[in-house]
Structure 1
Amino acid sequence: MTTQGETLVEFDADGRTLTVRDVVMEASCTFTASDPTDPIRVSTDRFLFPVDAAVSFETASLSLPAHAGVYVRDEEGQVLGHPTETSTEYLPGTYYVGITSYCKLYVKVFDAALETSMDLHNGTGAVDLEFGEPTRVAVGARSLHERPAATITVPDEPSALREALPYLASGIKEWSCERSWPTLRGHPPRLERGGALAIPDALSRPETGVTIAVPETYAALYTVAPLVYYLGADVVPATDPEIRLKNGYTEPLGAPDGALTRRVRSLLGRCLFLDSLVRTAGYHSVDRQEYEAVAGNLPFYPPELYDAAIPEQLMEYLEVEAELLERYVPAWSYDVVLDAEPADAKLLPHVLNSVSPVRMREVGTGVESICDGYGSSPVPTGATHLSVAGFEHNLDAPPREVASERVALVGVDAESDAMDALSATLTGTEHREVEKPFDVKTVEATREGVRTALETEAYGFVHIGVPLTDAGFVCADGVLRPEDVEEVAARVVSVVGDLSVTGSAVDAFVERGACLAFATTALPSHLLGHLLGRLLSGAPFAKAVEWGGFDGIRYRFAGDVASRLVAREGGTWIPEYAVESMTPDEHRLSVITWGGDVGAVSAIESPYIDSGHWLAGQRCEQPGTLTSEEVVDLVDDQDGVYVLNGEVVQRDGVTVTAVRDSARRALDDVASSETTE
């Protein structure tokens, strides 16, 4: 039987050249050896790190492809260093050379001396490995696996969906706490509706010793799907929902209604967060602010669970008081709302890819997330209509550097106001160091102007300022019906008009090619500038709107609005600095970064921010307090979004006087509220 790893990665030898192909991502990397490679397939178990496939051959030297990072590790996985322009020699031993390129690569060197150096003649970042004599090496590759690699066909029967659910976790690369890293969670296979259940032979069902028993209904199956995915659980029918471990232990999950929803999302957050603490004993040992705050209060020592099986870990995790963990669980990409209908099943792979919790429409309690996402109409104000098309289009359009971005403003009045607001909102040194960091084009509001802007692939963002009515876009030379635009090439589309009209239009734009679309009842020029400034600073689209000052303005989205249009310099995520005043001159600070996948970590260097990393999407409260002068210094020193006592403020508006005035207003509001009560 063909394994999934063999379908994800391919090796092709041609003399001294070895080409590694990431089949899923349609990318390749090339190694050059000193001798003909003649590779043979070897077990992936030879590698300390998870790989999809591997080959072995002998060579005296190996030139690595240009890369985003190379590290040398010892046999136990400890980082020893990275190549520089000056050669570095390592004594005979077993080494792993990890390469981040178009796929994840590992070169394992068996019992040999190793010398590394930068190869300046073969492209920026190329590296030479020298072994001194012919040496056995193995090259392992792991697909980035950021899109589905297979498709499961499921008939409209809950029993068939129950059988298919465990296979959605087939892309997870390792069944240890390391799977809390997003890079080890490959995209689940697609689900499509059909006449009979069909699961590709290359997909495997995890065997983690965890079973989840639930009623065989769409409502129950959708609700537990994220937990099934993350735990690698089998799913069996039962009247009373529960987790069953192979050691015989059972954990009730609550009645199949709101109680089940609350318990599942609590366990999902608990497992992911605690796994992220346990993994500090693994591949990437980084200091974590949450570890220092939480570990001492846990009934177990996290590193001791590193090699434990999932049931053993879960037994320990269940002993932790929920109150201890609540503030440390990161915000999810989406609070997903589905209907108990077979049509919503196709969204599950994309929902699980972001490990987002799921609830039914009738369960009104949500979780902190970038945005509420609905699988079908009606879509409430402020939420997004999730669709397979939006997710799939976004997979083909990853975030670009800001210098590559193009924006079209169609029929926008007071363009200079929009550009002034945009400039005031931008963050990031990559914006300030050049006069024109991106291209903004104004387009006349004619029918041809609107059509061309929507159909131009180069545009990342298109805002159509003329109103969209029942008849269509009211252009200078007549009306253009949205349905007359058969294909949308722009990644993001923004329209203005009554939501009863614009809502269905933005849904259609996503189906026809856009990654996401935005409908609002009004978009004044200064708010458009704020929105663009946040978006081009690397904010997820829904956060860019949230920070834009749309108070009193109704809006809704379509598509993957938790995604980013622009990648920030250095691969960082946009930080939000929230200041809460205790007195006019004493303020607490918390920091959260937005845009990272669940389980990733971030860090910020600042004298006002505690050292160490924390989970992306997790609000990290800093110890101590800041004076008003220190708040201003922080804003001057750090790029990001600034929130003073719940109000988003622009960088140039943060002065000592403004901080104190904000504090007095907030404290007066608290005092007034207490008096009223």
Structure 2
Amino acid sequence: MSKTPTPADGASLDDDVRGIQFETADTGITIVDGIERRRDHLGTDPVVEPTPVPTDRLVAPVDSAVRLYADRVEADPNIVMVRDDSFDMIDHLTEGTEREYPPGRYVVDVSGPIKQYLQVDGRLSVSTDEGTVIEVGDDAEALLGARSKHDRPATEITVPPTTDGLVRAVSTFGAALKMTTPDRSWPGHRGHPPAVTVGDELDVPRGLAPPCPEVQVLVPPEERYVYPVAPLVYYLGAELVPHQGPPQIRTDAGFEYDLQRSGEGFETRVERTLKQVLFLECCLRSEGLVELPLHERSAVAEDLPTDSAELFDRPAQVRLPAYLSVEYETIAPHIPDWELAAHLAPRPEQAELLPHLVNDLAVVRTTTEDGGVDPTELSTPEPTVNEAVTDDAAPEDEDASFEDFFRSAGTDIGDGWTVENSVDLRDGGSDALETVWSGKGVPVGASKATKQAYENRYSRQPDPPPIDVGVVCNDDSMSEELDVTELYDGEKLPMNVSTYRNLSQAGLRTLVEAEDVDFLHYIGHAEPDGLHCADGTLSFAEIGGTETEAFLLNACRSFDQGRALIEAGAIGGVVTLQPVPINSAAEVGKRVAGLLNIGYPLRVAVDVVDEATRTGSQYQIVGDGGHAVAQRDSGGAFVHEVTPVDGDLSTASEYCLQVQGHPSENGIGGVFHPHRDDFGYYLIGNTTPRVRLDREPLIDFLCQTSEPVIVKSDEDVDKALRASDRLAERL
């Protein structure tokens, strides 16, 4: 079979939309993705002036390509895959490996933050001792191609506000899959489903059809059944069929699988089915494009179908019964934590948000029948000040004004303030990294998702680096927090950081309206009618629009202002619902800023701080939680856990280390590999086994990069979140 992946629908966008550019640098060549605002550098010897060539000269699917007249190319990644002229993988090089290849055509994957392939016709040698060094023969031709990782809907469907229209729309989602073999479990091989607009008449572009119509998902034609199965229908490439009987999966070969059974409700059953199929395809895909020794495959080897090697190339309707014959409980401990869970109100207009959730393979829930959330029965929390304050957060000066203790300047502090029309999702039954709510009301314990946020992301025009960061401090008593500017260092992606003190209403309005800032970090106070300025308050509901992409509004009860920024054009941001103690707010603000600076998406940054601090749970996301402000070279966002074995942090000689991989640019189905021989390859969302390290090897590991470390010890309980490089210095 041909293993050359086909580009997603819409990959033939014009160059000015794709935004891939090659620039000569002092030591080589810089690759720039203007849409995703990413850049990468390859060292070359000699320094070259790239010459454009047609993309069809490369075996790999790329958006732009150039010829390099270089004998030597250097890249940061030290894990390299080498393919032949059929795009079949012939070698997989890990750190500390050297290979020489005879004359031929080779494709070397040198991807970092941008997907890149170096195609060499001739002799080739590759070394991965410190980074990657590729040397080509004197008579060899070297072509470099790159493609944007940007993923947007390739087309749009209009459906009437009826369940028949909704069913037709969901049936087209699988058309965005780039392949239907188990390799579809790689996130890069799943395209974005078509956008959906609810209108007067059905309008489906020609050619949009399920790629595996021999597999059908049958459910009653009601939103509360259609919404939860949409991600499953998409991943299976199946046809969605209205059905008055019990929900089930059916194939043309006669296989049937119930999606509702006694003791296991419909939504739970659908969720488990999606996770089981994707997980098992992750385990089988070593027979396909990428032959990685996946840890999870070894862990469940005895539970895999006996003919797994042959199963890879079999039709979907043959593979599916084999997958679902495996007992879920036997593989459940190895299934990764999911990236996203979503609560949709069972109303027709919610269909417009569905493709964006399906693109993340979100677990979708609608009702309380089997663990979901019923919008009519959600409780209204009353988050009083006492809930927000821990014992150690009390003001040291007992005579100090209680109002001064909080990041708010209003007189209603301590009055049992509640968010109007709030819904409590803190016990929503989700173990996902982020839970989103799209219904009416303000969610507590979840993010507020809107279609507008996703549309804002897709409508952004290419805008090459640097990233413009604006840090605004509108309260002199908080001026020390301006040292967060040191965190925005732009190590991988240039950043222009500007600070502003005591802006007026007009000044803050100009900052967010006039394209002066890509990321807004506000430090100050908030009121129901806006953010504090030197001459009053400014409500973002009153601005005419914004080019600000993301924001951190570090002020009490900034939710409404964040939501208004989304409506004005922003993509996503971090806000608060409750009063937050000033000292805690300052610390959380710095930690969130630090994580955003190293390329962690909004949802990961908030989750990490929530886990490691007492007040992190008071921060939440509005808009697209998957948006990342800065560039991250690896495909995951990693959180390390360090536990001293024979003493406290400063005196121990031995430590336990484990690493969890959160989704970043790589979503569900992606893989991570901590750079130590003790570790293997793991699915994003899982945690490595614990390994024991002496002090010096641990220091060497932590020094490799700056990533969050949660220290599990009795020492510094309230400051358990550290940067890995700084922790190494302390050790």
Question: 2:684 and 2:461 mapped to 1: Cα distance?
Answer: 19
Letter of the 2:606 counterpart: V
- Cα 1:101–1:558, aligned 2, differ >3 Å: closer, same or farther? closer
- Per the alignment, residue 273 of structure 1 pairs with 279
1:243-322 → structure 2 map (5 Å cutoff): 243-254=249-260, 259-300=265-306, 302-322=308-328
Q: Is the 8 A contact 1:535 1:566 kept in 2?
A: yes
Equivalent position SS for 1:277: helix
Pair 1:186-2:191 in alignment: yes
Report which stretch shifted further, 449-458 or 149-158: 449-458
Q: Is the 8 A contact 1:5 1:53 kept in 2?
A: no
- Per the alignment, residue 649 of structure 1 pairs with 720
- Per the alignment, residue 682 of structure 2 pairs with 614
Pair 1:454-2:512 in alignment: yes
- Cα 1:102–1:353, aligned 2, differ >3 Å: closer, same or farther? same
Q: Is the 8 A contact 2:711 2:722 kept in 1?
A: no
- Cα 1:606–1:129, aligned 2, differ >3 Å: closer, same or farther? closer
- Cα 1:141–1:472, aligned 2, differ >3 Å: closer, same or farther? closer
- Per the alignment, residue 491 of structure 1 pairs with 549
Report which stretch shifted further, 636-645 or 386-395: 636-645
- Per the alignment, residue 533 of structure 1 pairs with 594
Shift of 1:241: 0.4
- Per the alignment, residue 47 of structure 2 pairs with none
- Cα 1:280–1:437, aligned 2, differ >3 Å: closer, same or farther? same
Letter of the 1:516 counterpart: G
Unaligned runs of 5+ in 2: 1-5, 23-49, 94-99, 127-132, 374-427
- Cα 1:572–1:186, aligned 2, differ >3 Å: closer, same or farther? closer
Deviations 1:179-202 (A, max 9, x none): 111111111111001111110114
Q: How many residues align?
A: 604
- Per the alignment, residue 8 of structure 1 pairs with 10
- Cα 1:140–1:498, aligned 2, differ >3 Å: closer, same or farther? closer
Letter of the 2:473 counterpart: V
Letter of the 1:619 counterpart: T
Question: 1:421 and 1:200 mapped to 2: Cα distance?
Answer: 49
Letter of the 1:506 counterpart: G
Shift of 1:211: 0.6
Deviations 1:151-205 (A, max 9, x none): 0001000111111212112121111111111111111111001111110114333
Normalised by the length of structure 2, the TM-score is 0.70
Shift of 1:578: 2.5
Pair 1:338-2:344 in alignment: yes
Letter of the 2:347 counterpart: E
Shift of 1:468: 2.7
- Cα 1:474–1:74, aligned 2, differ >3 Å: closer, same or farther? closer
Q: Is the 8 A contact 2:531 2:561 kept in 1?
A: no
Pair 1:73-2:84 in alignment: yes
Question: 2:468 and 2:597 mapped to 1: Cα distance?
Answer: 8
- Per the alignment, residue 176 of structure 1 pairs with 181
Question: 1:478 and 1:428 mapped to 2: Cα distance?
Answer: 32
Letter of the 2:187 counterpart: P
Question: 1:172 and 1:545 mapped to 2: Cα distance?
Answer: 31
- Per the alignment, residue 471 of structure 2 pairs with 408
- Cα 1:24–1:184, aligned 2, differ >3 Å: closer, same or farther? farther
Unaligned runs of 5+ in 1: 11-19, 55-60, 83-87, 119-124, 660-677
Deviations 1:479-519 (A, max 9, x none): 323322111222223336664xx433322210111111332
- Per the alignment, residue 522 of structure 2 pairs with 464
Deviations 1:97-155 (A, max 9, x none): 7797999799999xxx746799xxxxxx999999999xxxx999988561111100010
Q: Is the 8 A contact 2:158 2:204 kept in 1?
A: yes
Question: 1:311 and 1:603 mapped to 2: Cα distance?
Answer: 33
Question: 1:397 and 1:593 mapped to 2: Cα distance?
Answer: 29
Letter of the 1:216 counterpart: P
Shift of 1:457: 3.0
- Cα 1:625–1:142, aligned 2, differ >3 Å: closer, same or farther? closer
Deviations 1:417-451 (A, max 9, x none): 4356786xx699948xx9x9762513323112321
Question: 1:279 and 1:611 mapped to 2: Cα distance?
Answer: 20
Deviations 1:620-675 (A, max 9, x none): 223x545788766754566322223496624379989x99xxxxxxxxxxxxxxxx
Shift of 1:353: 1.1
1:603 counterpart (662, 673, 687): 673
Question: 2:19 and 2:495 mapped to 1: Cα distance?
Answer: 30
1:480 counterpart (529, 533, 538): 538
Q: Is the 8 A contact 1:399 1:567 kept in 2?
A: no
Equivalent position SS for 2:429: coil
Shift of 1:541: 1.5
- Per the alignment, residue 640 of structure 1 pairs with 707
Report which stretch shifted further, 73-82 or 349-358: 73-82
- Per the alignment, residue 592 of structure 1 pairs with 660
- Per the alignment, residue 608 of structure 2 pairs with 547
Shift of 1:274: 1.3
Equivalent position SS for 2:442: coil
Q: Is the 8 A contact 1:402 1:566 kept in 2?
A: no
Deviations 1:357-412 (A, max 9, x none): 10115314533222111112223223111112211223456999997452322315
Q: Is the 8 A contact 1:158 1:216 kept in 2?
A: yes
Shift of 1:294: 2.0
Equivalent position SS for 1:286: coil
Question: 1:427 and 1:615 mapped to 2: Cα distance?
Answer: 30
- Per the alignment, residue 451 of structure 2 pairs with 388
RMSD: 4.8
Letter of the 2:670 counterpart: A
Letter of the 2:637 counterpart: I
- Cα 1:102–1:437, aligned 2, differ >3 Å: closer, same or farther? closer
- Cα 1:165–1:311, aligned 2, differ >3 Å: closer, same or farther? same
Q: Is the 8 A contact 2:124 2:134 kept in 1?
A: no
Identical positions, percent: 25
